[in-house]
Amino acid sequence: MKQIYVVRHGQTYINRFDKMQGWCDTPLTDKGIADAKRVGQVLAHVPFDIALSSDTKRASDTCDYIIQENCNRDDLQHIASPFFREQFYGYFEGMDQSLTWRMIGGPHGYPTRGELLRHFSIDEVKQFVVDADPYHAAETPAAYWKRIKQGFKLIQELDGADTILLVTHGCNIRSWAYKFGEKKFDIGIPPRNGSIMKMLIDGQTIKVTSYNQMSLESEN
């Protein structure tokens, strides 16, 4: 069985300015660097066998800051992969969040992402993004899960790596908590920058056991 500590990257400038950030990328802010170092200290005594991240700079940099704090830092290999990128938002990349989600969710009666996620499935919301995109360039649910499954396959094939750090993105964390949660997590609440989600992979079975935690002691 593989135990994965899934961490959301530290705050970026686009996060700070409350804009949509999928495949577009901006650097970590000073707070974002502090987010990364703080969660690194929380996870310092977890003996990771390998470190994985999205190939975006914000996730990769966060992962490197965490590695610097880890008890296995001298031996940890870091693999950055596009499989763990955020959902691609197409036309909406870089746009104001509140305006974007009003455009996406308004026709369905819920003008915020949190409200949409409490009333529709995660894949329905992903499809709403595609439908609202005037170019229809946003990532479809099928394309999203095909890519993510390649990432999970990568994890499953890591021989001898049972305790894994994975730094990724907010929508991924929400999506996995919704699909694989052992209980119903409130994904209408966004995962905080530098928060921790625990996930177990045992063969083909995937289970999320905690969501949006800031320490290893806290519980949902």
Residue 219 has pLDDT above 60, yes or no: no
Query: Per the CATH hierarchy, to which homologous superfamily does domain 10-44+61-159+178-202 belong?
Result: Phosphoglycerate mutase-like (3.40.50.1240)
Q: Comparing C-alpha atoms, which of 124, 162, 208, 152 is closest to residue 2?
A: 162
Token pair for residue 167? 């730094």
* Residue range 22-47: mean pLDDT, rounded: 98
In the prediction, which pLDDT does 218 show?
62
Residue 127 has pLDDT above 50, yes or no: yes
* Amino acid of residue 76: L
Taking the domains of the chain in order of start, what are their residue ranges?
10-44+61-159+178-202
Q: Percentage of the chain surpassing pLDDT 70?
A: 99
* Residue range 195-219: mean pLDDT, rounded: 93
pTM for this one?
0.97
Q: Are 119 and 80 in contact (CB under 8 A)?
A: no
CA 190 to chain centre: 10
In terms of DSSP H, where are the helices of 46-204? 57-69, 97-105, 113-119, 122-132, 141-156, 170-180
pLDDT (tens digit per residue) in 132-189: 999 999 999 999 999 999 999 999 999 999 999 999 999 999 999 999 998 899 999 9
In the prediction, which pLDDT does 220 show?
45
